Chain A
Amino acid sequence: MYLDDSFRVKVGLAEMLKGSVIMDVTNAEQALIAEKAGAAAVMALERVPSDIRKEGGVARMAPIRKIREIMATVSIPVMAKARIGHFMEARILEALEVDYVDESEVLTPADEEHHIAKRDFKVPFVCGARNLGEALRRIAEGAAMIRTKGEAGSGNIVEAVRHIRTIVKEMKQLTVLGKEELVSESKKLQAPLELVQWVAANGKLPVPNFSAGGIATPADAALVMQLGAEAVFVGSGIFKSEDPEARARAIVKAATYYNDPVKLLEASEELGMAMPGLDVSKLQETELLQTRGW
């Protein structure tokens, strides 16, 4: 494991975000609403995923002026997205002193073969994953936090559920394998043996494991947390709903009381309509965001 002091500090901040909600925001006004509702961090981006999906075009790192405004407005950590493989966007975000960089499939990839070499950075990174192999490759590159990809901007939880179930199941399977089998498994997963051995011994990822992509209601947040996610990212789900403030508060409550149906009922009680959703099975392969990342 790469447990030098720098990596411990990166993972440390992810530890502090457990049991919480990280909300996508595009400006300072939204960031303030998120902070007041109890978000433990905000994610600055140019457009929320459902708009990126609708409008198309190239989705890039958010405008610096917007990120600065957000950083100046809230006291909670501010994350920002960089394109997959775009290490110069990441360097700029690091120079800006954002608290976390999300190397994200929601933006248009800059490199269709390579991800950012994240261990070279002082700023910590979060990356998306659909399965254990992808998660471990990202950790090997230096990611200090993993989130399931789900299908961003769909308002449909089905893909996030699939991804968290897949990762948890693949980790459980490793725990019963022998030494020789782990070597062959490492080859299948296309992940370093050292990390495969660590997961086999501990039954979990060596970094916090969060969930993202399609969370639109308190019940969605509670569901992925029941399945093993340690915190949730909510993108379009809040600011594309009828009632962003109430919904943000409700999802924060759900991330804490995911084990308590009575509290979840209270959280769900006063809400209006959630964001409109998409049937992921009807999307063309080329419309999927989750397939970005290698």
Chain B
Amino acid sequence: MRRVGVLALQGDFEAHQKALQQAGAEAIPVRTSEQLEQVEGLIIPGGESTTMLKLLRVENLLEPLKRFAEVKPVFGTCAGAILLASKVTNPVQESLNVVDIDVERNAYGRQLDSRVARIDAAPGFVRSGGASEDFEAVFIRAPVIRRVGEGVKVLARFQGDPVLVEQGRHLVATFHPELTADRSLHKLFLRKLGPETHDSPKSEQHR
């Protein structure tokens, strides 16, 4: 079984762990760089990006995360999308610069502007098990992707703005696929892990 980490500093990491299990993977909460070394891919969940950033700095996890993303796939949702971006505004804050996108925080407004909406799959983007062209997405105080770089492919849009994009092995959603029942995006991320190898990381050592 593939071992996928979920950054568990804060946020809805448990919902992602459950979604990964439903998609057929083993989900490992990651709070230290040692735990990061044990996983084949990482999900950065929704939550408050300022809080996560603060903890990443204090716990010296920023550099290990950047190195991880150079060789392994990362999937960022909402706050995770903000952390993976190359540039963040409203307000300006540090980010990991893993995916070539500019992101504006809280761009739809406050909680009263959070919503469940149908989003449009880009032509050619076919989700496993989903034939329909639009699908349900939960937006919570969501960011908006204001710019996508050349190597970034838009997979879905809402009101014309990109909300699901990929760049090589990385995946970014401004909404919360972990809060809907459809597991196709977690499965898509699992396919980015590549073929299973025999030297894949061993089970977590006992502390």
When chains A and B are docked, how far (Å) is the Cα of A257 from the Cα of B10?
Answer: 10
Which of A49-57, A94-102, A154-162, A277-285 makes up part of the contact surface?
A94-102
When chains A and B are docked, how far (Å) is the Cα of A98 from the Cα of B179?
Answer: 23
From B13, B15, B58, residue with most partner A Cβ within 10 Å: B58
* Chain B stretch 114-130: residues in CB contact (< 8 A) with chain A: 114-116
B36 to chain A minimum Cβ distance, whole angstroms, is 15
Check if A97 sits within 8 Å of B112, measured CB to CB.
yes
Check if B10 sits within 8 Å of A41, measured CB to CB.
no
* Chain A stretch 1-36: residues in CB contact (< 8 A) with chain B: 5, 8-9, 12-13, 15-20, 35-36
* Chain A stretch 65-118: residues in CB contact (< 8 A) with chain B: 75-77, 94, 97-100
Q: What residue in chain B is nearest A15 (Cβ atoms)?
A: B12
Check if A40 sits within 8 Å of B105, measured CB to CB.
no
* Chain B stretch 40-86: residues in CB contact (< 8 A) with chain A: 46-48, 50-51, 54-55, 58, 78-79
Given A15-B179, A18-B12, CB of A256 within 8 Å of CB of B55: yes
When chains A and B are docked, how far (Å) is the Cα of A171 from the Cα of B84?
Answer: 39
B48 to chain A minimum Cβ distance, whole angstroms, is 4
Q: Does A120 contact B (CB under 8 A)?
A: no
When chains A and B are docked, how far (Å) is the Cα of A195 from the Cα of B9?
Answer: 31
A-side contacts of B206, CB under 8 Å = none
Encoded as 1 (CB less than 8 Å from any B CB) or 0, chain A from 116 to 137 comes to 0000001110000000000000
* Chain A stretch 129-153: residues in CB contact (< 8 A) with chain B: none
> Could you tell me how many residues of chain B have their Cβ less than 8 Å away from some Cβ of chain A?
35
Check if B110 sits within 8 Å of A35, measured CB to CB.
no
Q: Which of B9, B54, B138 is A8 in contact with, Cβ under 8 Å?
A: B138
Check if A9 sits within 8 Å of B11, measured CB to CB.
no
B139 to chain A minimum Cβ distance, whole angstroms, is 8
Given A8-B116, A8-B179, A12-B179, CB of A18 within 8 Å of CB of B10: yes
Q: Does B19 contact A (CB under 8 A)?
A: no
A211 to chain B minimum Cβ distance, whole angstroms, is 15
B115 to chain A minimum Cβ distance, whole angstroms, is 6
Q: What residue in chain B is nearest A231 (Cβ atoms)?
A: B10
From A5, A13, A16, A40, residue with most partner B Cβ within 10 Å: A16
Check if A13 sits within 8 Å of B141, measured CB to CB.
yes
Q: Does B160 contact A (CB under 8 A)?
A: no
Q: Which of A76, A100, A257 is B50 in contact with, Cβ under 8 Å?
A: A76
Check if B114 sits within 8 Å of A12, measured CB to CB.
yes
B45 to chain A minimum Cβ distance, whole angstroms, is 8
When chains A and B are docked, how far (Å) is the Cα of A56 from the Cα of B12?
Answer: 38
B-side contacts of A76, CB under 8 Å = 48, 50-51
B101 to chain A minimum Cβ distance, whole angstroms, is 19
B-side contacts of A164, CB under 8 Å = none
Check if A256 sits within 8 Å of B114, measured CB to CB.
no
Check if B58 sits within 8 Å of A9, measured CB to CB.
no
Q: Which of B46, B55, B78, B111 is A77 in contact with, Cβ under 8 Å?
A: B111
Given A38-B51, A75-B105, CB of A15 within 8 Å of CB of B15: yes
Q: Does A270 contact B (CB under 8 A)?
A: no
A-side contacts of B31, CB under 8 Å = 256-257, 260
Check if B55 sits within 8 Å of A252, measured CB to CB.
yes
* Chain A stretch 180-235: residues in CB contact (< 8 A) with chain B: none
Q: Does A39 contact B (CB under 8 A)?
A: yes
Q: Does A255 contact B (CB under 8 A)?
A: yes
A190 to chain B minimum Cβ distance, whole angstroms, is 30
A261 to chain B minimum Cβ distance, whole angstroms, is 11
A-side contacts of B115, CB under 8 Å = 5, 9
Check if A13 sits within 8 Å of B55, measured CB to CB.
no
Q: Does B186 contact A (CB under 8 A)?
A: no
Known: A16-B140, A252-B51. 10 other contacts (CB 8 A): A5-B116, A9-B115, A12-B176, A16-B47, A16-B79, A17-B47, A17-B48, A18-B47, A97-B112, A99-B111
Contacts from B to A (Cβ < 8 Å)? 8-15, 31, 46-48, 50-51, 54-55, 58, 78-79, 90-91, 105-106, 109-112, 114-116, 138, 140-141, 176, 179
Enumerate the 5 nearest inter-chain pairs by beta-carbon distance, A residue then B residue, closest first.
Answer: A99-B111, A38-B54, A5-B116, A15-B12, A40-B48
Query: What are 11 of the A-B contact pairs (CB < 8 Å)?
Result: A8-B116, A9-B115, A12-B176, A15-B11, A18-B10, A18-B47, A75-B106, A77-B48, A77-B141, A97-B109, A97-B110
